[in-house]
Structure 1
Amino acid sequence: MPSRKSARKARRRVVPTLLTGLAAVVATIVGVVVHQSLESSSSSAAAPFSPLTPSSTGASSSDVAPPPDAPPPPERPRERSGPLGEADGAVPDDASVFDDELPAVANLDPDLLDALREAASDAEDDGVRMVVNSGWRSAAYQEHLLQEAVAEHGSEEEAARWVSTPDTSLHVSGDAVDIGPTDAMDWLSRHGADYGLCQIYDNEPWHYELRPDAADDGCPDRYDDPTQDPRMQ
Structure 2
Amino acid sequence: MPARRSARANGLADGQVPDGTTVFADIPAVVNLNAKLLASLRRAATDAADVGVELELNSGWRSSGYQERLFKEAVATYGSDADAARWVARPGTSVHEAGKAVDIGPSSAAAWLAEHGASFGLCQVYDNEPWHFERRGSAAVDGCPTTYADPTDDPRMQQ
AA aligned opposite 2:18? P
The answer to whether the aligner puts 1:85 opposite 2:2 as a matched pair is no
Greater share of helix residues, 1 or 2?
A: 1
3-state DSSP class of the match of 2:22? coil
Give the structure 2 partner of residue 98 of structure 1.
24
What TM-score, normalized by structure 2, do the two folds share? 0.93
Residues 179-203 of structure 1 deviation map (CA, whole Å, 9 limit, x = unaligned) = 0001101111110000000000000
Give the structure 2 partner of residue 116 of structure 1.
41
**Structure 1: distance between partners of 2:111 and 2:10:** 30
The Cα shift of 1:83 comes to: 9.0
Count of residue pairs the alignment pairs up:
151
Greater share of strand residues, 1 or 2?
A: 2
Give the structure 1 partner of residue 135 of structure 2.
210
Give the structure 1 partner of residue 4 of structure 2.
none
RMSD in angstroms over aligned alpha carbons? 1.2
Larger radius of gyration: 1
Query: Would the alpha carbon gap of residues 83 and 227 (structure 1) be closer, same or farther in structure 2, given more than 3 Å must change?
Result: closer
The answer to whether the aligner puts 1:154 opposite 2:42 as a matched pair is no
**Which runs of 4 or more aligned residues in structure 1 lie more than 4 Å from their structure 2 counterparts after TM superposition?**
none
Fraction of identical pairs, as percent: 61
AA aligned opposite 2:157? M
Give the structure 1 partner of residue 121 of structure 2.
196
Name which structure has the greater RCO, CA cutoff 8 Å, separation 6+: 2
Give the structure 1 partner of residue 58 of structure 2.
133
What TM-score, normalized by structure 1, do the two folds share? 0.64
